[in-house]
Amino acid sequence: MKFGHEYEQVLASEGFPEQWLNSAIDYKYLKKCIKKVHRQLLALGLDGETLSHLSGWVEQPDFKVKPLQHHDYYSAAQPDLNTISEEFTPQLRILVDAQTGQPLDATLTPETKATLQGLAQHEMILAGRKEHLGTRIEPVDESESGSDSHGTPKDRVSSITELPADARWVQVPLASAQRFFDLLAPKLEDLEALRAAETRKLEEEILDLGDAVENVVEPVREGFEAKREISYRDLYFWREMFRLYLESPIFYSESEQNRGPLTFAKAKERLEAYDKQLRETGLLSKMKTPAARQAAKQFLDLNVDILKIMHFQEVNARAMVKILKKFDKQTHLEGRLFLKSLRDKYPELVPPEGSKKIVPSGFANSIARDLHAEIASKILAIVPQLDDWNCPVCYAMAWRPVSLGCCRSVFCIRCIIKLQDEGMKRCPCCNKETVMSADGRNIDFETMDFLEKYFPLEVKRRQKENEKAQLVRDYGEEFVKPSCTVM
Amino acid sequence: MSAPLPKRIIKETERLQNEPVPGISAQPHDDNARYFDVMVEGPGGSCYEGGVFNLELFLPDDYPMCPPRIRFLTRIYHPNIDRLGRICLDVLKNNWSPALQIRTILLSIQALLGAPNPEDPLNEAVAKQWKENQSEAIETAREWTKLYAQKN
């Protein structure tokens, strides 16, 4: 399917809000613009062949080159591409004979062309150095160009003026091309504004949902015995729900090999898989309180909303890149310079040049990244995950938690006892000699309270294991082996 | 196997499979979950680039209180690795910490390939050559890599 068609369809069928659609890039119309530019160029006698022939050496030098001297230009309205982004005007530059006004390009012999090309490149390098783009043709002087790097720019200018051939740069302002960019630029502003607004809105939603989740999972405090059973179990459901989410985050991959925002297609796939998982495990229906169920549904809806704006932005970014490529291809004008300036202006919009990796482009990219971080810190963090409270030695929950005081690591008491028994003096994490001096005072009571509050079941289990391990340590393996089992 | 596999080993193995380190793989044996077949790619820019080195790794009963035992199976020309494939690396000996893991150790080994240290040699002959004529030593390492460490 052609992209233009596909684009229209996506915009029409995905149920995007009206306001968004108004900001969407008008791909069809821009395509028409390109055609117009193309026709206009043809009318000037500049067909594709001539243009591509020209583009070989009408390459722009470094675009950051600042003020230019305009005396060498027969130029209309805006004399030159005098710098970056906002001031950019599409134009075509042709080398013409100053006397006859004939374009020199098409009629030159291959030898002359080669010489001109060499010269042009040479001049461009020079121009970059002295910020002077205007040029006149001069015969190649090997000896001079060889020592050129030592000559001051001034010397160089004077030598240029002795030129025999009389050729100038001419610029042809292209009204229709201007129109193309005039149309495109405000759209980008719109898209950026939309991105900012939607991100803010979603961030607020995330905060609200965070409060809601907090209310339903808050582990029971003293004196609320009646509610205990309910919320305590809901806490575990929520934890499992978030654990699944963290295992395969929907908008942002955190795995070592391919960290980064995901494409819309991939994100959609993940959200569908997540939804399926929730259904299959029946987590949602197991939740006891209506408020909890409501919040869980809200959580899913939020993800759907993010996915939607991501889709919209991604398809727009694609449309933009495509239309600029088309512009380049059809007109051989410097559309890619426009793209480059866009990159500077909206780094979030356009994927960096040469990035072949399939990353979602543009706004979608930054939405995925920002909102992923928001969800993680404002919602998911409310329910602590077991993996974050593991002892770095045995990988089981750090119960009872012991801090050695040298670094922030928290170990389980069993591992510290084992380290002491083995005579391993150094902290496993920071290498300081703190293990041997650890005793009851090193128990981390703050963490202990926290774990008891959020992981009551795990704490119970660990406590039993610890007691058993202590017996083994004190009396030997035999002591704890069951001697008789009642079947 | 008598004792059940510690949680730590199960978790490490899982993570090695689910989130492999680029250029490194470790596969436990079906009949012995403490014994791993390891594959390490020579680091880019080193004289082992393009080579694929096989190692064996064993987790003793005391692991993680003691380091894993690791040995190169593929022949390699390196001042800190001897003819039997034993490796001279501080974290595998005195500097072992139970907070280190299989993946961090394998990364250290890969780094050792990228930065041979002839000042602390295990293989005297190679280290001598490395110090006296480094370019030739590097050339030999390259040849050995081509000769023994090609993927098949």
Domains of chain A: 44-173 (no CATH), 178-383 (no CATH), 387-480 (3.30.40.10)
The reported pLDDT for the residue numbered A164 is 39
What is the phi/psi pair of residue B50, to 5°? 85, -10
Cβ contact, residue pair A422, B19, below 8 Å: no
Angle between helix A290-331 and helix A3-13 axes, rounded to 10 deg? 150
What band does B37 get if pLDDT is binned at 50, 70 and 90?
very high
Mutate to test the interface with A, among B5, B65, B101, B103 (most CBs of A within 10 A): B65
The reported pLDDT for the residue numbered A463 is 92
* Beta strands A73-74; A167-173: pairing state: parallel
Cβ contact, residue pair A419, B98, below 8 Å: yes
Is the Cβ–Cβ distance between A384 and A454 less than 8 Å? yes
Cβ contact, residue pair A415, B8, below 8 Å: no
Q: Which residue of A has its CA nearest to B24?
A: A257
Q: What is the largest CA-CA distance in chain B?
A: 52
**Cα–Cα distance, A329 to A34 (Å, whole number):** 10
Q: How close A465 comes to chain B (CA, Å)? A: 13
How many Cβ atoms are within 10 Å of B110's Cβ, its own excluded? Answer: 20
Active-site residue, selected from the candidate residues B88, B89, B106, B112: B88
Is the Cβ–Cβ distance between B80 and B110 less than 8 Å? no
**Cα–Cα distance, B139 to A90 (Å, whole number):** 55
Cβ contact, residue pair B7, A424, below 8 Å: no
Is the Cβ–Cβ distance between A404 and A435 less than 8 Å? yes
**Residues of A with Cβ-Cβ distance to B90 under 8 angstroms:** none
**Cα–Cα distance, B131 to B139 (Å, whole number):** 14
Q: What letter represents residue A406's amino acid?
A: C
Angle between helix B7-18 and helix B102-114 axes, rounded to 10 deg? 50
Cβ contact, residue pair B99, A392, below 8 Å: yes
Cβ contact, residue pair B8, A429, below 8 Å: no
Q: Which residue reads 């205007």 in tokens? A: A134
A242-258 pLDDT per residue, tens: 999 988 888 888 776 67
Interface size between A and B, measured as CB pairs under 8 A:
40
Residues of chain A with pLDDT under 70: 1, 45-174, 219-231, 256-257, 332-364, 478-487
Coil, helix or strand at residue A482: coil
- What DSSP element (H or E) covers A97? strand A91-97
Q: Where are the alpha helices (DSSP H) in A137-263?
A: 142-147, 153-160, 175-217, 225-247
Question: CA–CA distance from A307 to each of A35, A166, A377, B127 (Å)?
Answer: 34, 60, 19, 58
CA-nearest of A175, A217, A4, A159 to A89 is: A175
| Strand ranges inside chain B, DSSP E | 24-28, 35-41, 52-58, 69-72
Terminal C-alpha separation, chain B: 33
Mutate to test the interface with B, among A246, A394, A408, A427 (most CBs of B within 10 A): A394
- Alpha carbon A385 to its chain centroid, in Å, reads 27
Q: How close A310 comes to chain B (CA, Å)? A: 27
**Residues of B with Cβ-Cβ distance to A429 under 8 angstroms:** 97, 99
Q: Which residue of A has its CA nearest to B23?
A: A257
Mutate to test the interface with A, among B7, B8, B9, B107 (most CBs of A within 10 A): B8
Please list the residues that pair with B28 across neighbouring strands: B36
What DSSP line would sit under A223-250, residue for residue?
T-HHHHHHHHHHHHHHHHHHHHHHHS-S
Cβ contact, residue pair A394, B8, below 8 Å: yes
What is the phi/psi pair of residue A344, to 5°? -70, -35
**Residues of B with Cβ-Cβ distance to A415 under 8 angstroms:** 98
Closest by Cβ to B7, choosing from A394, A419, A424: A394
Active site residue B47: no
The encoded tokens of residue B115 equal: 């930065």
The reported pLDDT for the residue numbered A382 is 87
**Cα–Cα distance, A262 to A333 (Å, whole number):** 33
Q: How close B136 comes to chain A (CA, Å)? A: 35
The reported pLDDT for the residue numbered A368 is 80
Q: How close B19 comes to chain A (CA, Å)? A: 7
Cβ contact, residue pair A257, B19, below 8 Å: yes
Cβ contact, residue pair B97, A426, below 8 Å: yes
Q: Which residue of B has its CA nearest to A411?
A: B99
Taking residues B105-119, what's their average pLDDT? 94
Domains located in chain B, CATH noted: 7-148 (3.10.110.10)
**Residues of A with Cβ-Cβ distance to B7 under 8 angstroms:** 394-396
